[in-house]
């Protein structure tokens, strides 16, 4: 059973999904950028009790999530930029220039990888592929537009990492939630998905 709720902190609203499970304690998590919350709670936990817990722990959670990346976790440095997992002698005058480069150069590769896995996974109607700078998601599968949008910053990572995101989004063609059946599809075509996804989270570009 799930409930939706919105929590407000320092003038910002944080949408939350509360899932009631057979667990002992309330667990509070956020997305990668701290824009939305996921809460797991034992069955029959009163909402006021959940609210109290969130108000207590939300400030420290957001502080942790919004902590800037240390220099060694950035995909670029003085005189180099990671491109497809390799350190290349490439610099940009601004972050806007870097993002424009990623968007332009990533799209042909993303399209090629989507087409490859469409054929492998038996997707009959090709998806429209887009590359876009996104902060909270690595990829989006839109049923309405039959399109897959991939985060342009993925172009910094090695190809197997990119492929893991492609497989994840194409798996939604068959199963649109994140159930066990969904991950069965993912692991069929990307057996190392857990390891590759960990590289994304830990900013390991090689």
pLDDT in tens, 111-164: 999 999 999 999 999 999 999 998 778 999 999 999 999 999 999 999 999 999
The pLDDT tens digits of the residues spanning 79-125 come to: 899 999 999 999 998 889 999 999 999 999 999 999 999 999 999 99
| Fold (topology level) of 72-202 | Zincin-like (3.30.2010)
- The pLDDT confidence band at residue 33, using thresholds 50, 70 and 90, is low
Which residues belong to CATH 3.30.2010.10 in the chain? 72-202
Quick check: helix, strand or coil at residue 66? coil
C-alpha angle with apex 72: 71 to 75, nearest 5 degrees?
85
The answer to whether 85 and 206 are in contact (CB under 8 A) is yes
> How far does CA 83 lie from the centroid of its chain?
19
According to the model, what pLDDT value does residue 69 have? 57
What is d(CA 143, CA 148) in angstroms, rounded to the nearest whole number?
9
| Average confidence score pLDDT of the chain | 91
Asked which of 23-37, 44-58, 112-126 is least confident by mean pLDDT, the reply is: 23-37
């Amino acid at each position: 059973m799930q409930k939706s709720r919105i929590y407000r902190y320092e003038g910002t609203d944080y949408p939350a999904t509360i899932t009631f499970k057979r667990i002992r304690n309330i667990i509070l998590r956020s997305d990668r950028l701290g824009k939305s919350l996921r809460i797991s709670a034992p069955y029959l936990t009163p909402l006021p009790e959940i609210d109290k817990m969130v108000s207590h722990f939300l400030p420290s959670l957001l502080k942790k999530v919004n902590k800037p990346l240390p220099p060694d976790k950035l995909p670029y440095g003085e005189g180099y930029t990671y491109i497809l997992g390799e350190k290349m002698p490439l610099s940009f005058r601004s972050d806007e220039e870097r993002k424009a480069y990623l968007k332009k150069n990533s799209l042909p590769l993303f399209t090629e990888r989507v087409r490859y896995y469409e054929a492998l996974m038996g997707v009959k109607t090709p998806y429209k592929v887009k590359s876009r700078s996104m902060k909270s998601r690595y990829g989006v599968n839109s049923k309405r537009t039959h399109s897959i949008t991939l985060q342009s910053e993925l172009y910094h990572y090695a190809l197997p990492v990119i492929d893991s995101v492609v497989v994840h989004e194409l798996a939604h063609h068959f199963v649109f939630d994140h159930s066990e059946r969904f991950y069965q599809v993912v692991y069929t075509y990307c057996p190392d998905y857990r390891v590759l996804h960990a590289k994304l989270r830990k900013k390991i570009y090689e």
